[in-house]
Amino acid sequence: MPALGFRMRLTLFVVTTIVAIQLVTAALVTQITRHQLIAEGKHQLAVSADAFVSQLDDISARVAESVQILALDYALRAAIAQHDQDTVLSVLRNHGRRVDASRMLMVGLDGAIQADTAGTATLQRFPFPDMLDRAFSQRTAAVVALDGKAYWMVVVPIYAPQPVALVAAGIPIDDAFLARMLRRSTLPTDIQLIAPSGASHWQSLARSSTRADLLGGLAEQPLDGEPTLERVDGREYLVLSRPLSLQPHSTPVRALIAYSLDDALRPYRSVLSTWFVLLALGLLVGLAGAWLIARGISRPVEALAASVRRIERGDYSLPPPIERSDELGQLGGAFAAMTQAIRQREERIRFQALHDAVTELPNRNAAEATIQQSLQEQTGGALLMVGLTRMPEIIKTVGHALGDRLMRDAALRIVAATQGFVARASDTAFLVWLPGVDRGGVVAQALHLLEVLNKPYQEPDISVDATPAVGIAEFPFHAHTASALLQRAEVALLAALRTPEAVAFYDAGNDPHRPERLSLMGDLRAAISRNEVALHYQPKLNLRHGTVESGEALLRWRHPRLGPVAPDAFITLAEETGNIHRVTRWALAHAVAQLQRWSTDGLHVQVAVNLSARDLHDQDLPRRIADLLALHRVQPRWLRVEVTESAVIGEPTVAIQVLSELSDLGLCIAIDDFGVGESSLAYLRRLPVHELKIDKMFVQRLGTDIEDRLIVRSIIELAHRLGYSVTAEGVEDEAALAYLVEAGCDYAQGHYIAAAMPADRFASFVAEYTAGSTS
C-alpha cells in the first residue's frame, strides 16, 4: 500500500481533528443533557406519583359521600327489610351510574354478598372482610383487584337504625379512567396498573396509553424506591413503581408511572441537527484550509525531494531556488549548500578511495581494476612488485613522518623511471604494470628501478637507504587475472628478498601460498575424522646391545586424489593454521592404543611421539596424556615425547611447566633436531630432558666430513656429561653407523637401519632383528 503524501496527511489530520473535537463535544453535551433530563424526570415522577395517589383519595371521598347518601335511601332500606332483591339491584344500578361505579354490591353483616350488579354468581362472599370491619368506624376505600380488573372500592354501612347491611361501590380503574385522570392533571403521559399473576409474573390491569406496555419492558419484578431506566419498544422511559392503598387479602396492585426520555429529548434534536450542519460546514472550511496550507508546504518539499532523488542517483546539480522568505526558503538555501558540500566531499572520498593518501598514486583497488581492464586488451605483460625492504625498520627508528616523505620520494622516482602504470600496493611496496613488454624488457626495467631506488634518500640531518627488491609475475604465464597477478608478484617479491640480485620471477614450485594448500588443510581434517591417516613406526637401534627397543611414530597420509603427501607439507600447514592440536591428539591416541596391543601380544617397546610448539602451550596436555595411559592401561615409561629446541625457546615458561608435568608422569622427553635452530644451553639446563637427538644434517655426511664428526662427538660427550642419552637421526650408510658406535652414541635411527613402516611390519621387524642379534 503506497504511503500517503504530506498534503494528504495534513488534510486528514485537520479533518480528523475537527471531527474528533466535534464528536467529543456532542457526546459530552448529549450526555450532560441526558443526565440532567434523567434527574429532572426522577423528580417529576416522584411528584406525579404523589399527585396520582392524591387524586385517587379525592375520588374516594366523593364516591363515599355519594354512597353514604345511598345508604340513607328509604327505598333501599325498605327493599332490604322486605328482601326485595329486584328493587335492591335496581337502586344499586341507578346509584352506581350516578357515581360512575360499574359494580355495586350489597353485603350482609356476615360478609355474604346479597346483591351484585355484575349479575354473576361466582362471588359468594365479599373478599375483603377487613374493609367491612373498618367501614363501621371510618370511611373505607382501597384499590383492589377483582376478577382481573382494578377497582377503587368504597364500602359504607346501612343503618335501619341498626346496621343491616353494607354497600360496596366499585369504580373501575381502567384505560378510560386513567386517560380521564391524565387529561384533568399534569401527570406524565403513561400510567399503568399491574397486579401479580402467578409466582413471579405480573399482569396489566389498565394503562393510560397504547403506545407502550411498561410491564413488557421491566427487566425484573418492580420494586419500591428510585425510578429505573427501562427500554420499551425501542423507547427509553424512567419508570417508578408505587404500591396503591391495599387491603388484607386483596391482590397487590401497583401503579407504574413512566416519564419518556425520548419526548424530553425531542426539543434538543433540532439543536443536534443544527450542530451536524455546522460540523459539515466546519469540515468543508477545514478541508479547504488544510489543502491550501498543505499545497503551499508540499510544493517546495516535493521539489526538495526530487533533488534528493537526483543526489541518490549521483546527480549533484543544484536544485531550483525556492523563492520564499520563510522557513522553507531557508531550508531550500541550506539544502543547496549541503548539496554542493556533498558533491565536493564525495569527489574527495572517491579520490581517497582510489588513491594513496601519502603518494597520491592509485591504490591497490584502483590498480587491480586498471590492470584487469588492460588484461582484456593485451596478449602479454608483466607486473613488477617493488618493495622497500627496510621501511618497517626506518619507520620504527625515525617515525612515520619521515617514512611518508621517503615513500613520496620513492613514488616520484618510480614514476620518472618507467612508462608503465604505477600504483602503491602496500605500506612498503609499489607496483608497476608493463603491458606488452617481453621478458628482456621486464628485466631491464626491474634493474633500472633498483638502480634508481638504491640511491639513498637525503635530508639535511639524515641519509636513508631503503634497500629495494623487485618481484615479477607475467601474464599470461603466471596468472590470468589482476588479483592473481598481484598475489603472484608479492610471492615473487618475498623470493627476491632472499636473492643477492634482489630480482625474482614468480616460481609456482616455491609458492607456499598456493590455493591447493588451503584445501589440503580441509582434506586433512576430514582424513583425521575418517581415520584415513596412519602411524608408521621407524625403529631405533640400541648401539650398545644391537637390539631394537623403541621406535618413532611418524604420521603418513595417502590423499585419495593427490596420493602420498609429504609430512613436512601438511604438518607445517597444520601448525600455521592451528590444527596441529587435532593431529597431535590423534597421534597420541593411536600410539598409546598401539602400545596396548603390542603389550597384549608380548612386545614391549617404547614409542616416541612428536609435539609441536603449539602443543607445549596447551596446559591440559599432561592431563589428556595421563587419561589416555590410564584408559589403555599402558605404563608411562613406554611413551616418549620429542620436542624441538625452538618450540621450547618460543615461550619457555609455559613449555617448561608442561614438560615438567609430563616428566612427573613418568614419560621420557627428548630434544629433537638438536644442533640446529636457536639452541640455548641455558634453557636446556632447565628442561626435564632425558635424551638428545642429533639433527640429521650432522649425521648424513659422517663418513666423509671431518667437521660433522667433531660436532657429533662433542654433542655426544656434552649429553653424556649432562646425563642424557643420545640418538643420531639420518643414518644413511655403514660408515656413519660405524662412527657413531665408535663415538659412544646410544641409539641410531635412519633408512640404513630401517624406514618407517606400518605397525604390523614394525612388530615383525623387531622380532626378526632381535632374533638375528641373539643368534
Q: What is the pTM of this model?
A: 0.48
- The answer as to whether 528 is a domain residue is no
307: its cell numbers: 533533488
Residues 476 and 549 reside in one and the same domain:
no
Domain count, the chain: 2
Spatial neighbors of 222 by CB under 8 A, at least 6 apart, are 194, 202, 239, 241, 254, 256
What is the structure's pLDDT at 219?
A: 44
Section 46-62 average pLDDT: 74
Residues 506 and 633 in one domain: no
Q: Residue 554 pLDDT more than 90?
A: yes
Rounded to 5 degrees, φ, ψ at 256 are: -95, 115
Note whether residue 760 is domain-resident.
yes
- For residue 250, pLDDT over 70 is answered with no
Same domain membership, residue 596 and residue 496: no
Look at residue 220 and give its three-state secondary structure. Answer: coil
Residues 485 and 546 in one domain: no
Domain containing residue 598: CATH number: 3.20.20.450
Residue 514: strand, helix, or coil? coil
Strand partners, 574: none
Confidence of residue 247 (pLDDT cuts 50, 70, 90): low
DSSP 313-371: TT--PPPPP---SSHHHHHHHHHHHHHHHHHHHHHHHHHHHHB-TTT-SB-HHHHHHHH
Q: Is the pLDDT of residue 111 over 90?
A: no
- The pLDDT > 90 percentage for the chain reads 27
Out of 34-48, 330-344, 593-607, give the one with best mean pLDDT: 593-607
- 185 has pLDDT over 80: no
Residues 591, 496 within the same domain: no
pLDDT (0 to 100) of residue 303: 66
Q: Is 290 a domain residue?
A: no
Range with the largest mean pLDDT of 17-31, 88-102, 192-206, 263-277: 88-102
Do residues 705 and 590 share a domain?
yes
CATH of the domain at 419: 3.30.70.270
Residue 252 pLDDT more than 80?
Answer: no
- The reply to whether 81 falls in a domain is no
- Which of the pair, 305 or 729, is modelled with greater confidence? 729
Q: 503 and 377, same structural domain?
A: yes
Eight-state DSSP code of residue 131: H
Q: How confident is the model at residue 81 (pLDDT cuts 50, 70, 90)?
A: confident
Beta strands in 173-283 (DSSP E): 190-196, 202-207, 228-232, 235-243, 254-260
Is residue 223 situated within a structural domain? no
For residues 204 and 374, the model is more confident at 374
Whether the per-residue pLDDT at 249 is higher than 70: the answer is no
Question: Are residues 492 and 548 located together in one domain of the fold?
Answer: no
Question: In the predicted model, what is the mean pLDDT of residues 558-567?
Answer: 80
380 is in which domain, residue-wise? 364-513
Residue 736 lies in a domain: yes
Residue 222 has pLDDT above 60, yes or no: no
Let me know whether 609 and 754 are in one domain: yes
Does pLDDT of 683 surpass 70?
no
Are both 634 and 494 inside the same structural domain?
no
Q: What is the mean pLDDT of the chain?
A: 81
315-330 average pLDDT score: 61
Task: Confirm whether 32 is domain-assigned.
Answer: no
For CA atoms 412, 414, 420, 422, the dihedral sign is: negative
Q: How far apart are CA 353 and CA 729, in angstroms?
A: 56
End-to-end CA distance of the chain: 99
Among the listed residues 452, 469, 451, the one whose alpha carbon sits nearest the alpha carbon of residue 409: 452
**Which is higher by pLDDT, 485 or 337?**
485
Of 139-148, 186-195, 495-504, least confident by mean pLDDT is 186-195
Q: Which amino acid is at 584?
A: T
Q: Work out the average pLDDT over 526-544.
A: 89
> Do residues 418 and 507 both lie within one domain?
yes
The pLDDT, as a whole number, for residue 305 is: 67
Cβ–Cβ under 8 Å, residues 130 and 245: no
**Helical pair 74-81 and 85-98, crossing angle rounded to 10 deg:** 150
Q: For residue 16, give the DSSP letter.
A: H
Indicate whether 753 and 648 sit together in one domain: yes
**For residue 456, is the peptide bond before it cis, meaning its omega torsion is within 30 degrees of 0?**
no
Task: Summarize the confidence of residues 601-621 as an average pLDDT.
Answer: 91
Q: State CA 385 to chain mean position distance.
A: 49
* pLDDT (average), residues 754-773: 87
CA 261, CA 265: separation in Å to the nearest integer? 6
- The top-scoring range by mean pLDDT among 298-312, 369-383, 460-474, 617-631 is 617-631
pLDDT band at 431 (very low <50, low <70, confident <90, very high): very high
Residue range 375-426, pLDDT digits in tens: 888 778 899 999 998 888 888 888 888 889 999 999 999 999 999 999 998 8
CA angle 509, 515, 521 (to 5 degrees): 105
Q: Please list, in sequence order, all residues whose beta carbon lies within 8 angstroms of the beta carbon of residue 341, skipping any fewer than 6 positions away.
A: none
Residue 307 lies in a domain: no
